[in-house]
């Protein structure tokens, strides 16, 4: 009996095992839309306006074909409750931005910017970044111009294309984030 209790606790108090990988693939009908597979569940998702691609460049609209580690969860505490997850977490503040300027030494990093300045603002008027998972793309090491701000975030109505991210409906985060292992990856194929 003791062995069973130990196994169950490693899986999260007797629940289903933690997910170490999520899979994303494009729809055969529209390469800008696809599916995110989490365990045995499939959820529709939006992809980059240029679909999935292996050669990623800043601004090309491609979702990178890669194994992307989940780095951290960013969220808007004024709009959503703190997500349940084992991943590192941070509340989004009014000065938070993501540097997408390839000539800046802080390229592809979370930076502090006064409101109104350029960059990829994280505190947006729409709801796309109410919950954002930072994906490990072009960050070890950072190569200028190879693409920045690849996120897993909330989708627009109708799953319209992203700039290169993976986007899902809000209920997906509520179902999937609590099940993720600390070293989970999204495998984009």
pLDDT band for position 1 (cuts 50, 70, 90): very low
Percent of the chain with pLDDT over 90: 85
Query: Could you read off the pLDDT of 103-136 as tens digits, one per residue?
Result: 999 999 999 987 666 678 999 999 999 999 999 9
DSSP conformational letter for 77: T
4: three-class secondary structure by DSSP: helix
Q: Is the pLDDT of residue 184 over 60?
A: yes
pLDDT band for position 185 (cuts 50, 70, 90): very high
Classify each residue of 121-147 as buried b or exposed e, where b means 16 or more C-beta atoms within 10 Å of its C-beta: bbbeeeebbbbbbbbbbbbeebeeebb
Domain range for 135 is 2-188
Cα–Cα distance list, 34 to 4, 101, 165 (Å): 38, 29, 12
Query: Could you read off the pLDDT of 80-93 as tens digits, one per residue?
Result: 999 999 999 999 99
Half-sphere exposure of 171 (CA within 13 A, CB side): 4
Domain tally, the chain: 1
Percent of the chain with pLDDT over 70: 90
Ranges 41-50, 106-115, 169-178: which has the least confidence:
106-115
Rg (the chain; Cα; Å): 17
């Amino acid at each position: 009996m003791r062995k069973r209790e130990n196994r169950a606790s490693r899986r999260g108090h007797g629940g289903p095992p933690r997910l170490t990988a999520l899979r994303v693939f494009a729809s055969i009908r529209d390469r800008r839309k696809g599916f995110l597979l989490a365990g045995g569940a499939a959820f529709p998702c939006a992809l980059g306006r240029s679909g999935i691609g292996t050669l990623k460049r800043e601004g090309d609209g491609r979702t990178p074909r890669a194994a992307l580690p989940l780095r951290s969860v960013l969220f808007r505490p004024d709009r959503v409750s703190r997500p349940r997850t084992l991943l590192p977490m941070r509340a989004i503040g009014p000065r938070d931005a993501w540097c997408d300027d390839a000539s800046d030494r802080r390229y592809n990093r979370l930076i502090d910017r006064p409101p109104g300045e350029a960059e990829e603002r994280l505190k947006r008027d729409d709801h796309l970044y109410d919950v954002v998972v930072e994906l490990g793309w072009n960050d070890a090491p950072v190569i200028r111009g190879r693409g920045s701000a690849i996120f897993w975030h909330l989708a627009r109505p109708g799953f319209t294309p992203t700039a290169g991210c993976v986007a899902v409906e809000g209920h997906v985060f509520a179902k999937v984030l609590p099940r993720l292992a600390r070293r989970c990856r999204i495998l984009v194929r």
